Every structure is written in structure tokens, then in C-alpha cells.
Structure 1
Amino acid sequence: MVDTVPGGHGGGRGHGGGRGRDRGYGLRAGRDVEVRAAGGGFAVGTAEHVTLYAAPRQPATLPHQVGVVPAPAQSFQTRPESAELRAPGPCHVLTGLGGVGKTQLAAAHAHRAWDARELDVLVWVTATGRPAVVASYAQAAAELCGADPAEPEQAAAAFLAWLRAKPHRWLVVLDDVADPADLRGLWPPDSPAGRTLVTTRRRDAALTGTGRRRIDVGPFTPDEASAYLAGVLAAHGRTEPAGELASLAAELGRLPLALSQAAAYLADQALGAAAYRALLADRTRTLAHALPAPDALPDDQRVPVAAAWSLSAELADTCEPRGLARSLLALTAMLDPNGIPADVLTAPATRAFLARKGRGRLLRGRTRRVTAGQVHETLRLLHRLSLVDHTPEEPQRALHVHALVQRTTRDALTPRRFAACLRAAADALAEAWPENERDIALAAALRANAAALIALGEPTGCLYERSGAHMVLFRYGMSLEDALQAAEAEEFYRALTEATTRHLGRDHWCTLVARQLGAQARGRAGDAAGAAVAYEELLEDRTRVLGRNDYSTLATKLDLAEWRGESGDGEGAVAAYTELLHDTRRVHGPDHHNTLSARLGLARWRGESGDPEGAVAAFTGLLPDVVRVFGPDDRRTLALRHILARWRGRAGDVEGAVAAFTELLSDVVRVLGPDHRNAFVLREDLAKSLGRAGDTEAALAAYAALVDDMTRVLGADHPDTRAVLAKAAAWREGQAPG
């Protein structure tokens, strides 16, 4: 039996009939208290709200239910976890991010078992703190075995003893356990007939162990999410296109709590899914502006999505290492929710950012030292609280953060704090990005994180300062090219040029560099003539801004000469390189990069103009100088060796080309990795040379192995994969490709 009264009163009359003995309890807001009352009743609550319990005169008859099981949510979805809950075992622990539907799964399981008459006793406990658990146990003891709840701890012990002694079929649900320590000494016993079900956001080892099976609950699947939205809207007489519902579900991270509140907002505001998605995408609005007000939440929900994780974040910040959790969560809110590399999380920039801030304020005007170990401890803390998923065994994508956790975290930041977090995340990305992208999976993860960060930073201009655009912008574009995504790189550099022009000016060096890289990507995407035109326009502006002898101006002349040749003007390329070689020797000297590049270009286009033997001789003479200046493992040295091997084959020395390609492949794999784009291009050249040398069997084997690896890395539908597959087919059919 239960009654409620406002807190702060001297006592209250419970159903047992007695008046409280102690007046003026001195309740303090936010503090759980236990208050004894006469007549066999007792009270538990806070200063705002006190719950009075009273014991019946005799034990209840069975079957009997204690506590209120939440009603099923509208359009409740049966999920795989429902079947897992029916699996044998004394205790199941449902754990996961707040809002994934743990309570609803538990309630559905309890309702099903009760309605099927599988239970003699059902006890539902809202286990938000130890006093609440003790109070619920004491009430159960009063109702089931006539215990006196005037001594709640003793009554709770009596209830646990009753569960252990009686052969009844019982289910105890401990919903929303906030701290494993709250259950110390209060776990229901293992019983052949009894079952315990726990829901919690925590993933501490203390919650699992012998007889306790953990079930991780995640968001809905795409089909579940779409079906849920369609069902809720149908109940309000609404229909939306299936594609729009699927897109909306994806943008909300398929989180059940968010989906239910979004559907309620759609119904209340008579808003279409497309218009609602536009509202969500509006970065000037917080998530709270796109969800129902607290008094309009569906399914008896207590908190809006925007506040669902605030208590967990506050708790994390008070745990050791103190003051790091919320800052780290804020930094990760700037990155890709689908996986952040471990090296980014422990980068010097990340640790410096955490050191400067503690719980959102300066630490006595000075910094502190934050170690990589402390970052790891903080990540594990956030993981235990289900605010993130930390998988250190997968370093390329070691941290996953739900997109709505990121959104609500960003919404709570001031503009100044947002900018600081964004720049720190950009610094960490740049520091973690390797010079040579040997690990293809890591490179893909870094690009995904950079894309997420750039999308957030562009509207605010946080990645642009007077000194220039942030380095991570250029690193992202170069990585796209390394991944053979030239068209995507061209599109990105076009957008970057517009952004640098807007933020920094048309003649700023960053704008000119973005134009240069964009022209290069345009050529690599197949538009050689367009690249040549872009370089001509860039050369005019660089000469005007920097002068004709500046390094960047001469570098632009180099690129222009190359793309003139690629566009079909071989004689023009030879003339341009000849003039340029004279200028670079005069301005920079014989060993400068531009001088060596001019020698390389001149040799190539002489060969393309009909003198392959002269090209081989020129490349052979250039190689020792490049090795001396840059070193044997420099990418420029490896590139020159690749070019020389190609020209040996074109000059008729096919066996020499095979030997050169074979030797070079070993060095490229060692330096750049087996899945690097240069390794793939080199392997294709080797396969072609093997075929031209008459070893068709070896050529086909090389092509087959190359197709397998390119399919694994790039995908079967990538243009380069398809091109190599076509060449392999041509060799198989006896038609040597060009």
C-alpha cells in the first residue's frame, strides 16, 4: 500500500493509520532520506516528495505484484533482446545508452510473463538509489510475508530471505540501476524458480559475474526504426514516404527515445518528415528546439532527449581522473560518431586541451599535465557509463559516440568553448595523420573524422584564422587523392577555395594553394585540358602576388608544363620545361626540388615526343641526384624509379623493366604498405610487363592477385578495380592491352 505527500512535513498518516512520531524531519532537497512512522508504516523520499508505505495485516495471496510496471510504449517493437530475456538463467542485465529502450524491453518481458501466468510474484523496483531499492524491498516484504516495514533494512533482508526460501515463481526487476554499489547485499538470490532482471546504463564488471548475463542493448535496426515511426504516425492518422522516414530515423541515430519524441513533435506540430529533417539540420537551433516540451513528452517519459545523458556526464566528471570526462566528451563531439582513431584520442593536442580545462574553467590560471594513461582511464569511465563505446582492440575506430550524445554535448557549449573544442580536435587529427598512409583502414577513419569536423566548422569559420586555414583541411584533400578519389578531391578543393576566399581573401596563400591542389585533382580525375587552364589562371595570379621568381610561382610553372603535355601538347611541354629548367637553376640552384622536377619533366616529354632511349638516359642520370638530395626511401625517389622502369619497357628493354618493377615493388611495400595506391599502380605495371615479356601465365596470376586486393580495399565497383579487371580479361583472351 502506498501514498504520497509533499516533503517537508513533520509526519504523515499512512494507510496503516498511525501518525508519524518524528516532526520536522529537516529534509534537504535532492537527498534520499528514510523516515520511520508509527503504525507499521514508513516513508522514503526527498524534501519535495515523500512516499509513505504501510504493511498489510496479513500476507497477500498469490499471484501478487509489487510496484508499478510501466505501460507498454506506443507502437512497441519486439526486438531480438526480447528473446534473449527468455533464455534460461537466474539474472539478466540489460545495459546500454540512455534512451535505447531498456526499460521498455524489461516492462514488456514482465507484462508478457505476468499475462501468461508464468509468475507467482512480480516485483518492479525503480532502483535509482539504494534507499529506493531498500524501500521497495521493504514494501514487498510487508505485502508478501507480513514483515514490519518500520525497520526497512530488516524488512528488505526478510524479503530476500523469503525469495530464497519459497519455491514460488518470481521475477524481480531492478530498473535503472545508477550505481552497482547500491545493490551491495541487495541482489536477489539465485533460485531455480526465480529470475532477476536489471536495467542500467552502467557496464561495470560488478554488475556481471556468475549467473548474471549481460545483454547489450543498442539503437533500433533500420527496419525497426522505420516501422516504429510509421506505426506512431499512423496512430495519429499520419503517413509519410518510407524514404523520408528511413532518412529521419538515420539522422536521429535510430535511438528509440529520440524517435518517439520526434514522432510526437511531428504529430503536435503537423510537420512533415522532410520539413522536420530540415529543422534538425539547422545548426543555429539546439536539439531541444526540435523536440516536445517536457510537459508534452509521450509514453510517460520523464526527460527530453536533450537531457537524457546530462546526469551521467556530470557523474563522470566527478570521478577519477577528475574534471576530464566532460572536456573529452566535448572534443569527441566534433568528430565522426562511427569511430575515432585511438591516436587522435591520445594525441598531444588532445592532452593539452584537457590540461587547460577542468570542468569548464581554468585551473587556477595554469595548466596541468594529462597523461595518455589518464585519457584511457577517462575513456573507460565514459564507456562504463554507456556514454561512449570504447573498443581499444580496434585502434582505427577505437571510440564510437552516438550522434545525439554529440549533438546535445555541442548544444551545451558556449560559442567560445565550441571553437576551442573544434580547433583542438582538428589539431589532434593533424597530429595523428601519418605521412605515409600505410594503414588503409586508419586513413579512411581519419578522412571520416575530418569530414565530420569540417562540416561542423565551416558555418562558424573556426578552422580559419589570419595565419591561414587549418592544416587538417589540406591533409584531408591529399588523403582523398591518395585513396584514388580524385573526383571527390576536386570537389572538396573547389569548396575549400570558396571558403578560403570568403574567410581569408582571394590572394591569400591558402586560397592559392587550394586552387593549385584543385587543379591537380581535376587533372587526375581525367580532365587534363581543364587542369592546364586552371594552372594558367593560377600562374597569372601567383606571378602578380608573389613575383616571377618565387618558389610557388615556379612550382606552378612546373605543374602547368606537365598538364600541357597530358592534354596533348607534348612539344609545348618540352619548351616549357626547357625554359623552366633555366629559371630554377638560376633562382634555386641545381639541387632544389623545382630544378630536379624540371629535369624529370623534360626527360619524360622528350621521350613522349619520340625519343624513349633519350628519356631512359636522362632518367638514369637524374636518379643519383634525387637519391642524394632526398634519400633512397623518399616518395619522390620511389616515383622516379617507377618512371624509369616504365621507360625501360617503352624503349624495348622489357626484361629490364620487369626486373626494375620487381625490385621497386619490394621497397614500395616496405615504405608505403601493400595497400597503398602506388603499390597497386606498380603491380599493374609489373603484370603488364610480365605479359609483354612473354610470360602470360605469370601476368594473369599477377592480375588476379591485384584484382583481389583492389576489391578488398577499394571495392569491386571502383573504377580502378574495374579497369584492372578489364585488362586482365584482355590478357586472358590473348589481346594485350595498351
Structure 2
Amino acid sequence: MHVHADRGSLAVGRADHVTYHAAPHGAVSWPHQVGVIPRRASAFQDRASAWQLRDASADAATAARILDGMGGVGKTQLAADHARHAWENGEVDLLIWVTAASRQAVIEAYAQAAADILHPDPAYPERAAAAFLAWLEPKPAPQPVRWLIVLDDVADPGDLRGLWPPAHSLGRTLITTRRRDATLTAHGRRVPVGLFTPAESLTYLQQALTVYGRSDNVADLAALTEALGHLPLALSQAAAYLADTHLDATHYRVRLADRARQLADLLPESEALPDDQPTTVAAAWSLSLERADQLRPAGLARPMLQLSAMLDANGVPLQVLIGEPVLTHLTAQRSDGAGQTLPAVSEEEAAGALRALHRLSLIDHTPDEPHQAVRAHQLIQRAIRDSLIPEDRDHVARTAADALIAAWPEVERDTDLARALRANATALLARAEDALYQPDAHGLLHRLGQSLGEAGQSSAAIKHFQHLTDTITHRLGREDHPHALAARGNLAHWRGEAGDSAGASAASAALLEDCLRLLGADHPETLGTRINLAACRGQAGDPDGAAAAFGALLEDLLRVLGPDHPHTLAARGNLAHWRGEAGDPAGAAQLTAALLEDRLRLLGADHPETLGTRINLAAWRGEAGDPDGAAAANAALLEDLLRVLGPDHPRTLATRGNLAHWRGEAGDLVGAAQLTAALLEDRLRLLGPHHLETLITRMNLVSWRGKAGDLAGADTAFAALLQPGDAASRGEGAVPGQGLTNGEGG
């Protein structure tokens, strides 16, 4: 059967039991459109995704193009632009726009197209839709129809079962969806739609505000686009909010940063949304989350996203979200509706919840990047946190803290993992710090500070422990609470490590008085404070006094804690160190060698404390007159450090510096300069040009190049050292020479 229209004879496939009639000549005017294309946004950006879509559509190798991405990135606007471009340029004869939120909506749109072209029985829309799909099938025709079907906002891939338009050399299908299911990509080619670039964000916001007669400071607008995460929907609604409230970008950004404010209160009311938008940013993902929560394993997507919303938007390590604290939390959250707890959630199910969220574009789950396996947009996180009542938000925050602690290794061999854990702990503190002081200071607060210090960030560790001390004291009203004492001890320790020996000594002395009064002389906290105080004496320039203090302290540690306690071992390392500093390097080497035997017995060869003791032993042997032996020991040690701790660990870098030092002392001046130059590159990459360790390495490079006779190279290195902005040129004091690395915390 044929249907005659003014474009000629069109072949139509027959569906079973479908009744339709040929349209009279001229009943359908070509080109023909079914459905309404959404109007163009007032500040539409013709961005790279639009060109990528046009390029993809020019290739007819696959049937459909699938625009996928999180809600609010502008998929519908890109699809509308594509459809409008094809229509206005005469590229299609039939254009069908379907708001495909449900299967019924797709059927009704197809039935409408069939009614316009084929005149089927209107009482049977499913049959009409089938007839229309059959009509689309490729077949010989004098003047075939070029068509484009847009299925916008497909919510469930299952809704399209049996409703996919056929592959056709003259037909194109374009789908927009938040879904990333494999069944979708089996039907076509993905065209992922992401956020605006910073430049696109700024241009968009400027143009959107121009519509309202606004012209704001460019730098302020750029900062605001960053705060909004370059999300097109958020930028559009923020522009409308700024216009309605007559607020400037800077003050709006301050309101956004205020955790006491709800995101919904910082957006236009639903009736004042721009560009016919159906929902606010705050509610844009609610339906997606409902659908994700229905996917297997049912009921776990929502609590998993709530946990993710407390952590770093730039990446959460996988082990954090599949660890025991999270599994326990998910088990408690999952019930059968009758108050009975279902079987315990497994790691496999927790990973399944992450995949469900990924399928709905609520997170990006990339298991191949284990340290940053889960990423979520900052505004999705904000909307999810806002949806929690205070009691639930605090509980989720403490669970996230438990999960971080459980994933945090006692020994930070993997520097990338440690960096990611610190970033997540910092994000959690920024979002829910109050919850981590209920009922007491959570262990994560102390672990974060220790990790900062161990990573070589002494200043950051000091700042952290000062804040922790002040907060605990303020909340509990006393400076002698056990958690406050621990924080004060860490604060004193890292002040000493940073070179503030006087401040560390005064803080340790005050802390010792409180420990003696509250805990007694033999309490581990008291003994640990005595260790710090003794070390401060040496750091203040009294190595003999420090050695004597550690000698006396060691007797008490052996009596109270025994020979194998970490405090006892640390005191032995400090005793060796200060004996060497007091002028007895041979004695220091003997004490360190004996300590190494016990470290090997108790901790094994690859434990960082064992490796730290080897660092010190090599150094003291060099100081005792054996630079060749020290160089050989450092070379062997470096191989183990690279294997165990990795190339970027502070101890690995320190050992490279020591190796260069002893090679030079053994007479290989050129080799020392070369090793130091290579080390400087990594110091600059990891720490920046103004870090103390970078400056030390620069000074050593000047020294070794000069000693090797490379006066021009020494001049160049010295000029770089005195570049404006360096600590030396700012008059912050002399930079000490690079000597041995004390791995014992003394």
C-alpha cells in the first residue's frame, strides 16, 4: 500500500491488525514537524559538544546519537539546537520532537505522526505507533523522506523496547538521557555532554546577565562560575536570582559558601525560572535518585550518595566506600519496610550501588582509578546534604569519618592514596565539622594532622592542631581534656619539626605540667610529652642536655612500657641522634645499629620506622668518617624506599639528598651536583619553589656546582635561589644546610 503526498509515493510497511488509510493528496505538507522544539535559551552557547554532535550525525554508520550526562548540563538545549539547525537548513523533511519521559509519551508521539501521515484508527495508538515505525523502514520510493526523531530526556531505556526508530541512511535518531546503561550504547553512539569550560561559563554568565541589564566585574563572575561548578543550569538560575535580588556576584558567592543556607533558598522560585526550565537546581536530580534507588541492589543508591556527598567532589578512594563502616551503615539503612533488617550488605552490593548512581549520571564511577574512583558534582552533593535533617546529616558525617579512618593505612606507603584521604578528610571537615566533635573529637581529626606532618607539611600540621586544640578547648571548656592534651602534644611536636624550638619547648613544658597533674608520671601521654620536651632541648641548641634527658627518660620507659614499646624505641633513636649531634658520631652509629636490629625484629625490613633507622645509620657512619660507606648504604636504601614508599615520599626524597651529599663528600663532586639537580626538579614539582626543602636543595646545588668547578652553573643556581618571592630574598632567615635525616621523630 502507498500513501500519496505532495512529495510523491511513500512505501509503508504493514503491521498486524493495523487499520490506516491513505492520506488524500496534499494532506501532509512537507517538510512536516510533530512536537514542539524547546525554545533556545537566552544565552545559548554554541560549544564544542554541538559541533561534536553535528560531526557524529554526518556519519551514518550507527542508527542513533545518544547525548548523555548529568542533569543540568544542557543536553536538551544541544538537541534542540541540532534539530533547529537541521530544520532551518532544509536537511530533513520530517522532524519529530518527543519529550520521552515515559513509554506512553513516545507511543503517543509516534501515533500523532502516524495520524498526520497514515490516518490510522485513532482508537489504537500502539498500533498506530507500530505502523509509523514500519513506515520508517527503508524501502524504495521515488522521493524518499529524510527524517530526524529526537527522543528527549529518556528516563528508562526499557521504555524504548520495540520503539527504536530503524537504522536508515536518510533517517537520524537523537536521544538525550541521564542514563548510561549498556543497552543504550548498543543502539547508537554516545556523545557525552559535560560541564561548561571556564571560558564558556564566563561567557554564558555575562550574556545571561546582559539580558537583565547587568554588567558585573569579570573576576567576580569567574569566581562565581567556579563556585557553581560550571553547571549550565546553575549558571542560568544564578543569573536570574542575581537579577531578581539585585545582588552582586561576590555577595552571592558568600551566601553560597554559607553552610547554614539551603541551596533552594539561593535560587529563583519555581514560577520565576528562566528559559521555561521545569525545576530548580536543588531539585534537578531528585527523580534520578529515585530511579537509581530502584535499581539493584535496591535501596542502597540513596544512602551511598549521601555518604559521597560528605566527601571530596574530585574523587573518593574506592576502599572508603566499600569498607566495613559503610557496609554496616548501608545494612542499617536497608530494611524490608516492616522494620526488619535484611542480610548484611556485601562489598559487591556496595559497588553495585555505585554503579547504579553512575548509570543515572549522579556520580562518575571509575574503578580503574582506585584513589579517585567516585566523583560527584559539588551542587549534587550540596542538594543531597540539604535534603538531610540535622540528626541524619551528623550520623552520615560520622560514618564517613569512620570510613576514612578504616581506609587510612597506619603506614602511608602510597603517597597518592594518602593525598586523596587528606583531601576527603578536609572536605568532610568543611561540610560537617561540628558532627566530628560529638560526643568527642573523632580520631579522624588527629589522623589528618599527623598525615599532613608526615607528608612534610609541617606548617599545615601546626595550623590543623592549633585549630583542633582551640576547638576542643572551646567546646569542652577545658584545656586538660584527654583529647585536648593529645592535640596539644601533636601541636608542640610539629612546631619543633618546623624549627620553632622555643615555642615547642614552652608548649611541651606547659603540657607536661598538666599531664603530671592529671595523668601521673608513668602515663604514656606524660612519657610522650617528655620525649618531645627532651627533643626541644636539642633543637634549641643543647644537644648534650637533650642526650642526658633521653638517657634518663629511657630508664623510665624501659621500666614502665618495656623495651619494645614504640615510645621506648623512639627514645633510643633520639638518644643516638643527640649523642651524634653532641660530637659522638661513632657512638651514635653504634646505638643506631643496635636499634636497627630491634626494628627489624619487631617491624620487619619494609616498615617506615625501620627504613628511617637505616637512613640515620647511613648518615652517622658518614659523619663518623666513612663517606664511601654512607654513600653505598644510601644507594642500597634508596632502592628499597622506591619500592616500598614510592618516588615522591619525603623519606625517598631525603635519601636522594643524602646520597648526593655523601657522594660529594666521598669525592664525586660532579655526581653530587647531578644528583642534586635531579632532586631539585622533583622538589619543585612536589613542593613548589618556596618550600624550605626546595630552598635547601637549591643551596646544595649552588655548593656542589661550585665545588665541582662549574662556576657558571653555580651562579645560575644562586640567581634562581634569589628570585623575588624566595624565602631567602624575603629576609626570612638563613636556610640550614642539608645534613642527615632523623627518622625517629626527634
TM band (smaller chain):
0.7 to 0.9
Measure, in 2, the Cα distance between the counterparts of 1:363 and 1:487: 53
Alignment of 1:264-343 (within 5 A): 264-343=240-319
Q: For 1:462, what is the secondary structure of its paired residue?
A: helix
8 Å Cα contact 1:203-1:384 kept in structure 2: yes
Q: Which residue of 1 aligns with 2:427?
A: 452
Q: Which of residues 165, 179, 183 is equivalent to 1:202?
A: 179
Alignment of 1:373-452 (within 5 A): 373-452=348-427
Measure, in 2, the Cα distance between the counterparts of 1:629 and 1:409: 47
Measure, in 2, the Cα distance between the counterparts of 1:289 and 1:446: 32
Measure, in 1, the Cα distance between the counterparts of 2:342 and 2:161: 39
Q: Please say if 1:550 is aligned against 2:527.
A: no
Q: Which residue of 1 aligns with 2:225?
A: 249
Q: Which of residues 161, 169, 174 is equivalent to 1:192?
A: 169
Change (3 A) 1:719 1:105: farther
Q: Please say if 1:227 is aligned against 2:209.
A: no
Q: Deviations over 1:606-644 (max 9, x none)?
A: 322223233333333444344445544443332222212
Measure, in 1, the Cα distance between the counterparts of 2:425 and 2:706: 44
Give the number of aligned pairs: 682
8 Å Cα contact 1:125-1:175 kept in structure 2: yes
8 Å Cα contact 1:222-1:254 kept in structure 2: yes
Give 1:226 deviation, angstroms.
1.5
Give 1:325 deviation, angstroms.
0.9
Give 1:421 deviation, angstroms.
0.9
Change (3 A) 1:541 1:735: farther
Q: Please say if 1:61 is aligned against 2:29.
A: yes
Measure, in 2, the Cα distance between the counterparts of 1:586 and 1:196: 81
Q: For 1:214, what is the secondary structure of its paired residue?
A: strand
Alignment of 1:668-687 (within 5 A): 668-687=641-660
Q: Which of residues 449, 456, 470 is equivalent to 1:477?
A: 449
Q: Which residue of 1 aligns with 2:545?
A: 572
Measure, in 2, the Cα distance between the counterparts of 1:177 and 1:287: 27
8 Å Cα contact 1:92-1:214 kept in structure 2: yes
Change (3 A) 1:622 1:284: closer
Measure, in 1, the Cα distance between the counterparts of 2:707 and 2:648: 29
Give 1:248 deviation, angstroms.
1.5
8 Å Cα contact 1:561-1:573 kept in structure 2: yes
Q: Please say if 1:181 is aligned against 2:154.
A: no
Larger mean CA deviation between 152-161 and 486-495 belongs to 152-161
Alignment of 1:621-636 (within 5 A): 621-636=594-609
Measure, in 1, the Cα distance between the counterparts of 2:332 and 2:496: 45
Residue type matched to 2:283 in 1?
A
Q: For 1:444, what is the secondary structure of its paired residue?
A: helix
Larger mean CA deviation between 327-336 and 274-283 belongs to 274-283
Alignment of 1:47-196 (within 5 A): 59-87=27-55, 88-90=58-60, 91-164=64-137, 165=139, 167-196=144-173
Measure, in 2, the Cα distance between the counterparts of 1:391 and 1:302: 31
Give 1:521 deviation, angstroms.
2.0
Measure, in 1, the Cα distance between the counterparts of 2:257 and 2:297: 35
Measure, in 2, the Cα distance between the counterparts of 1:312 and 1:486: 44
Give 1:225 deviation, angstroms.
1.1
Q: How many percent of aligned residue pairs carry the same amino acid?
A: 51
Change (3 A) 1:628 1:66: closer
Change (3 A) 1:591 1:158: closer
Q: Which of residues 462, 469, 481 is equivalent to 1:508?
A: 481
Give 1:76 deviation, angstroms.
0.8
Larger mean CA deviation between 334-343 and 153-162 belongs to 153-162
Measure, in 1, the Cα distance between the counterparts of 2:668 and 2:149: 74
Q: For 1:189, what is the secondary structure of its paired residue?
A: coil
Give 1:260 deviation, angstroms.
0.9
Give 1:179 deviation, angstroms.
1.0
Measure, in 1, the Cα distance between the counterparts of 2:274 and 2:210: 15
Q: Please say if 1:351 is aligned against 2:324.
A: no
Give 1:712 deviation, angstroms.
5.2
Residue type matched to 2:473 in 1?
T
Residue type matched to 1:114 in 2?
W
Q: Which residue of 2 aligns with 1:27?
A: none
Q: Deviations over 1:404-423 (max 9, x none)?
A: 11111111112221112111
Give 1:705 deviation, angstroms.
4.3
Q: Please say if 1:258 is aligned against 2:234.
A: yes
Measure, in 2, the Cα distance between the counterparts of 1:723 and 1:343: 37
8 Å Cα contact 1:436-1:672 kept in structure 2: no
Q: For 1:73, what is the secondary structure of its paired residue?
A: coil
Larger mean CA deviation between 97-106 and 177-186 belongs to 177-186
8 Å Cα contact 2:209-2:215 kept in structure 1: yes
Q: Which residue of 2 aligns with 1:236?
A: 212
Q: Which residue of 1 aligns with 2:579?
A: 606
Measure, in 2, the Cα distance between the counterparts of 1:563 and 1:473: 25
8 Å Cα contact 1:658-1:689 kept in structure 2: yes
Change (3 A) 1:118 1:631: closer
Q: For 1:463, what is the secondary structure of its paired residue?
A: helix
Q: Which residue of 2 aligns with 1:12?
A: none
Change (3 A) 1:696 1:272: same
Give 1:435 deviation, angstroms.
2.0
8 Å Cα contact 1:437-1:443 kept in structure 2: yes
Q: Which residue of 2 aligns with 1:463?
A: 436
Give 1:592 deviation, angstroms.
4.1
Give 1:714 deviation, angstroms.
4.5
Q: Which residue of 1 aligns with 2:734?
A: none
Residue type matched to 2:173 in 1?
T
Measure, in 1, the Cα distance between the counterparts of 2:662 and 2:168: 73
Larger mean CA deviation between 593-602 and 229-238 belongs to 593-602
Q: For 2:158, what is the secondary structure of its paired residue?
A: helix
Q: For 2:173, what is the secondary structure of its paired residue?
A: strand
Q: For 2:435, what is the secondary structure of its paired residue?
A: coil
Query: Where does structure 2 lack aligned partners over 5 or more consecutive residues?
Result: 1-18, 710-736, 739-746
Give 1:389 deviation, angstroms.
0.8
Measure, in 1, the Cα distance between the counterparts of 2:595 and 2:103: 78
Change (3 A) 1:606 1:119: same
8 Å Cα contact 1:225-1:254 kept in structure 2: yes
Give 1:136 deviation, angstroms.
0.7
Alignment of 1:621-660 (within 5 A): 621-660=594-633
Larger mean CA deviation between 499-508 and 582-591 belongs to 582-591
Q: Deviations over 1:562-603 (max 9, x none)?
A: 122112233332343343234334444455443443343333
Larger mean CA deviation between 575-584 and 503-512 belongs to 575-584
8 Å Cα contact 1:439-1:673 kept in structure 2: yes
Change (3 A) 1:191 1:600: closer
Measure, in 2, the Cα distance between the counterparts of 1:233 and 1:150: 49
Q: Which of residues 492, 495, 499 is equivalent to 2:471?
A: 499
Change (3 A) 1:667 1:415: same
Q: Deviations over 1:689-720 (max 9, x none)?
A: 11111123443443344345445555566553
Residue type matched to 1:436 in 2?
V
Q: Please say if 1:368 is aligned against 2:336.
A: no
Please report the RMSD computed on the Cα atoms of aligned residues, expressed in angstroms. Answer: 2.5
Measure, in 2, the Cα distance between the counterparts of 1:540 and 1:593: 23
